[in-house]
Structure 1
């Protein structure tokens, strides 16, 4: 069943700028509810686009990074990821982040599409990329605020990281789910997918 598009759009009454922070800028939009005419002040986070990379070696191991996350005060296992710089094509950002965070590079890139990380507050996109046949070619180039450990996991080991709760980053899990069956009960069915789960809007 298709959800019917019968709701009226909200009307933007005015906007005001808020605090500008290192990774996002706050904006306040005064909106009018089309259902009842009520006016409210909505918070919008103006965030740069992001990229995540599912990097897979020739023997189908996944490149993962482990780092401390301040928001939860814990270490997490994730995929290489980062911000798209102003004016930077998101493919270039994916190539750069993979090389800088892990030292791995690839000549075989597949665009998996984009998703909206949190449209309730954020206005950015997460672009998801698959890098095939990656090789370790460069030293890591970490930012001053980064301390990253790089590992290779088989598909089964990646599923174990998820099962034990060491890998909970939702955007990393979504990206991985487009290239392998994370929930396969039979390990033989848990390899790299032949038909990657891309989106119709992947070229946008």
Structure 2
């Protein structure tokens, strides 16, 4: 029996790897495709699995300090068709084929809010759902914000732009309007950056 209380990282991961075999596209859609893929485990078991073939995503966290010294986020509110509800989120979108993630982040920021950023800091990227999705989602912190344009939304986009204090977002993430798992990941990346730069979430007197 393996000891779950054994502290340390295991360097032997090879026995967990399933080797890929035949891959077939079974559905082609406007947002993602669905593939069926055969994989074989290290102990000889073979099965067929579902893989969602999706473009990479990008999320931008626009940050600034209000005149009263409070750190603030610029966020957007929109109706989400998967949950049939309005959510409050950081600007985000799909990275176009061949597009640099940073370029995509700046594009989405400007399209959704009219803002540009200098600097734009890469915070990291992760698999949004490694159980069946094959894409990555990238996260950036946008500072030095300037309003330069009106919104330039896609035909079926409808969203409001507003400022929310960093304190409120930290306290509310995962509840109510903040019901979006990708935003929780974004906040985690922000808090890791803020641990190195505490002024990102402290009020300036």
TM-score grouping bracket, smaller chain normalisation: 0.7 to 0.9
Deviation of 1:93 after TM superposition, in Å, equals: 0.2
Residue 168, structure 1, aligned to residue 175, structure 2:
no
Q: Which has the higher helix share?
A: 2
CA deviation profile, 1:141-199 (whole Å, cap 9, x unmatched):
11111110111011122234427522121211221232248xxxxxxxxxx82626xxx
Distance (Å, rounded) in 1 between the aligned partners of 2:18 and 2:187 = 35
- Residue 26 of structure 2 aligns with which residue? 18
Q: Secondary structure at the match of 2:183?
A: helix
Distance (Å, rounded) in 2 between the aligned partners of 1:68 and 1:129 = 23
Within 5 Å, give how 1:3-152 maps onto structure 2: 3-6=10-13, 7-35=15-43, 37-59=44-66, 60-152=71-163
CA deviation profile, 1:38-74 (whole Å, cap 9, x unmatched):
3211111111111001101243310111111111111
Q: 4+ residue runs of structure 1 moved beyond 4 angstroms?
A: none
Q: Is contact 1:52–1:79 with CA below 8 Å preserved after alignment? A: yes
Aligned residues: CA RMSD = 2.0
Q: Is contact 2:61–2:142 with CA below 8 Å preserved after alignment? A: yes
Deviation of 1:13 after TM superposition, in Å, equals: 2.8
Q: Is contact 1:98–1:105 with CA below 8 Å preserved after alignment? A: yes
- Residue 201 of structure 2 aligns with which residue? none
Q: Give the TM-score, by structure 1 length.
A: 0.84
Q: Is contact 1:58–1:132 with CA below 8 Å preserved after alignment? A: no
- Residue 168 of structure 2 aligns with which residue? 157
Distance (Å, rounded) in 1 between the aligned partners of 2:152 and 2:135 = 25
CA deviation profile, 1:65-106 (whole Å, cap 9, x unmatched):
111111111111111000000111000000000000111111
- Residue 188 of structure 1 aligns with which residue? none
**Please, which moves more after superposition, 92-101 or 16-25?**
16-25
Q: Secondary structure at the match of 1:34?
A: coil
Unpaired stretches in structure 2, ≥5 consecutive residues: 1-7, 198-205
Distance (Å, rounded) in 1 between the aligned partners of 2:52 and 2:140 = 24
